[in-house]
Amino acid sequence: MRILITDDHALFRQGLAVLLQQLPEISEVQTADSGKQTLALLQNQRQNQSFDLILMDIDMPEMNGIDTVTQIRKQKNNVPIVALSISARPYDILHMYDAGINGYLLKSSSIQEVRKALQQLQQGHEYYCEEIRPQLFELLLQRKPHTQQQELTNREKEVLVMICQQYSTEEIAQALYVSPLTINNHRRSILRKTHSKNVAGLVLYALEKHIFIK
């Protein structure tokens, strides 16, 4: 797993890099001191192997984490990004979520929790630390959709429940006796119909619509 750490504090990013390099699942760790440097590294990916994950600080000079993630997503780059910040401010959480992150960790997190997040992301899930998760869901609950949501089919509801239960695409396909490609098509349809950006949005939709989740 190749990881990029973006943080403007040299001691923090270098210390985290040393810790991550000790994990057996990590093959390489690179660092960037700014959003601009991160974008430059991503542009050079054609000549190198792409990153599997970016750990992104929020408060940085010149280009903050929110703007950096926004630019990455505008370039149609779907590399998983996890916010790693000292901030638990609602503004930062919600704006990073809207920009397109796949998880959120606080800098007070242990290396064990960081490793847990990496494992979840490798399995195709998202990861929001326990301190952030309730606050994020509460912020999302306060929102009202601007467009009418389409009704899900019974099969799509089945798939949605299993996604919320953290089953992988392959596990869902096996349980429903269909191909993984079929499940991926259902997943895209569910995201489109519910106007969700990621799994957190799907969980929120399931809760709002009282779709049973064990």
Digitized pLDDT (tens) for each residue of the chain, 214 residues in all: 899 999 999 999 999 999 999 999 999 999 999 999 999 999 886 555 688 899 999 999 889 999 999 999 888 788 889 999 998 888 888 889 888 888 999 999 999 999 999 988 887 788 899 888 888 888 877 765 545 567 888 899 999 999 998 899 899 999 998 888 788 878 878 988 888 888 888 888 888 787 865 5
CB 113 within 8 A of CB 129: yes
In the sheet with 28-32, reading across from the earlier edge strand, the strands are: 28-32, 2-6, 53-56, 81-85, 103-106, 127-128
Does the pTM surpass 0.85? The reply is: no
